[in-house]
């Protein structure tokens, strides 16, 4: 008897081959995803073992320990506060009144207004006039030049200088300039001539 041969139609063969190919690709894809997942887990374990997470609790969680930091965060150092301006002694009307009526050799009352201002109001009793605007360098002058310019001997550096002007602005500036020139004891009359006129009835401008 002759063997019987069966022939498979080409359409069936074409269907069987793609089905095998699809199955193979599915297996390969599954294996790839599994390996990738295992590699990711291993990487996370390595990172987690080397990165401290003590600071992570203060940060929102994004991923697995991904926000844990190896950096040390340093709080912003506060810049040192600017040094306070030197204390400037302030004289009241009572203080100046006592000094004007009872002058002392170690204390000098200095009016820093300009001569034309003094003509309108008069001067503080027992004061000397050293105008600030026209003679800002007065306290830096040598003794001889000082005496030639103002007509009296330059005060020694240990003399207390009490400055006055119209309202207390120029007197404060003059007191600080004198301190820069080496005078350790300087003061400013708060309110100056306006305060003096208010309390004594002297003319003002």
Cβ-based neighbour number of residue 96 at 10 Å: 24
Among residues 193, 162, 165, the alpha carbon closest in space to that of 89 is found at 162
First to last CA, the chain: 148
Write down the catalytic residue from 99, 165, 177, 187: 165
Q: Is 27 a catalytic residue?
A: no
Where residue 43 falls among pLDDT bands split at 50, 70, 90?
very low
Q: Which range has the top average pLDDT, 7-16, 54-63, 92-101? A: 92-101
Among residues 157, 158, 142, 168, the alpha carbon closest in space to that of 90 is found at 168
What's the pTM? 0.59
Question: Per-residue pLDDT tens for 131-149?
Answer: 999 999 999 999 999 999 9
Range 89-200: architecture per CATH: 3-Layer(aba) Sandwich (3.40)
Among residues 41, 21, 39, the alpha carbon closest in space to that of 29 is found at 21
3-state secondary structure 48-101: HHHCCCCCHHHCCCCCCCCCCCCCCCCCCCCCCCCCCCCCCEEECHHHHHHHHH
pLDDT in the model for residue 25: 52
How far, in whole angstroms, is CA 149 from its chain's centroid?
Answer: 43
Question: Per-residue pLDDT tens for 110-122?
Answer: 999 999 999 999 9
Where residue 15 falls among pLDDT bands split at 50, 70, 90?
very low
* Average pLDDT along the chain: 75
Task: State the average pLDDT over residues 73-87.
Answer: 45
């Amino acid at each position: 008897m002759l063997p019987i041969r069966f022939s498979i139609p080409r359409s069936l063969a074409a269907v069987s081959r793609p089905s095998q190919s699809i199955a193979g690709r599915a297996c390969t894809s599954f294996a790839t995803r599994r390996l990738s997942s295992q590699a990711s887990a291993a990487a996370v374990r390595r990172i987690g073992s080397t990165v401290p997470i003590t600071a992570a609790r203060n940060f929102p969680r994004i991923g697995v320990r991904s926000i844990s930091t190896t950096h040390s965060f340093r709080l912003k150092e506060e810049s040192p506060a600017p040094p306070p301006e030197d204390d400037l002694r302030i004289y009241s009307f009572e203080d100046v009144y006592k000094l004007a009526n009872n002058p002392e050799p170690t204390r000098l009352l200095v009016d820093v207004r300009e001569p034309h201002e003094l003509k309108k109001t008069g001067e503080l009793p027992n004061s000397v006039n050293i105008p600030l605007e026209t003679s800002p360098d007065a306290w830096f002058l040598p003794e001889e030049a000082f005496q030639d310019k103002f007509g009296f001997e330059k005060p020694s550096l240990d003399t207390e200088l009490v400055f006055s002007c119209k309202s207390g602005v120029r007197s404060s500036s003059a007191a600080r300039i004198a301190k820069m020139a080496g005078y350790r004891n300087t003061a400013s009359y708060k309110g100056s001539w306006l305060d003096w006129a208010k309390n004594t009835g002297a003319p003002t401008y």
